[in-house]
Structure 1
Amino acid sequence: MSAYDPLRRKLESMRGQAVRLTFSEIEEILGRPLPASASKFSAWWGNESSRKAGHTQAMAWLDAGFKARVSLKQRAVEFHRA
C-alpha cells in the first residue's frame, strides 16, 4: 500500500478527461502534507513511474490512467487522461 493510494482512487473515480487539483486539495485527499520537494521541484510531478527512482507518487496517477502537469506558481496540478 502506498501513501498515494488515496490520490489514485480519487483519480480513478473521475469521469472527465482532465481534473485540476490544488496542492491543498491533494493534501486533503492524502490526509497528510505533500513533501517540501513537491512544491519546489517540478520534477517531483514527473510522469516517470520507476519505483527504483523513488517516484512512487507518479504510480498513483499513472496507474489511474493520468499524466500530471504541475504549476508550482499556482500550486496546482492538472491531471490529463493518458
Structure 2
Amino acid sequence: MTARKSIYTPLHQRLLTEAAHSVRLTFVEIEDILGRKLPASALKFTAWWSNESSMKAGHAQARAWMVAGFRAHASIKDRVVEFRGV
C-alpha cells in the first residue's frame, strides 16, 4: 500500500528511508521536509496528529506516516513529533 500523492508525500518518503524504529522531528524540521508551513491546526491541536487514516476522515497527513509504518505521538507544547514504528 502506498500513500496517495499529497502535500505530505515528502514526509512519507522521508519516513520510508528511516532505519530507526522511531524518529523525532520538530515542527520546523517537518516544515522543511514538506517545503511549506504546517497548517495552524497542526500547531494547536494534538488531534491533527491522530493516527486515523480513514479515507472518509480525509487525514492525508496520517496516511503519510501510517502507510510508511509509523504512528505519530505529538507534543504541541514542545513542538515535536515522535514517529514510532509499528
**Alignment of 1:62 onto 2:66:** yes
**TM-score, normalised by the number of residues in structure 1:** 0.98
Query: In the TM superposition, what is the alpha-carbon distance from 1:51 to its structure 2 partner?
Result: 2.3
Runs of 5+ in structure 2 lacking a partner? Answer: none
Q: How many residues align?
A: 82
**TM-score, normalised by the number of residues in structure 2:** 0.93
Query: 1:72, 1:49 → 2: CA distance?
Result: 20
Query: 1:21, 1:79 → 2: CA distance?
Result: 8
Q: Spell out structure 1 runs of 4+ moving beyond 2 A.
A: none
Q: Percent identity?
A: 60
Query: 2:76, 2:35 → 1: CA distance?
Result: 21
Root-mean-square deviation (Å)? 0.5
Runs of 5+ in structure 1 lacking a partner? Answer: none
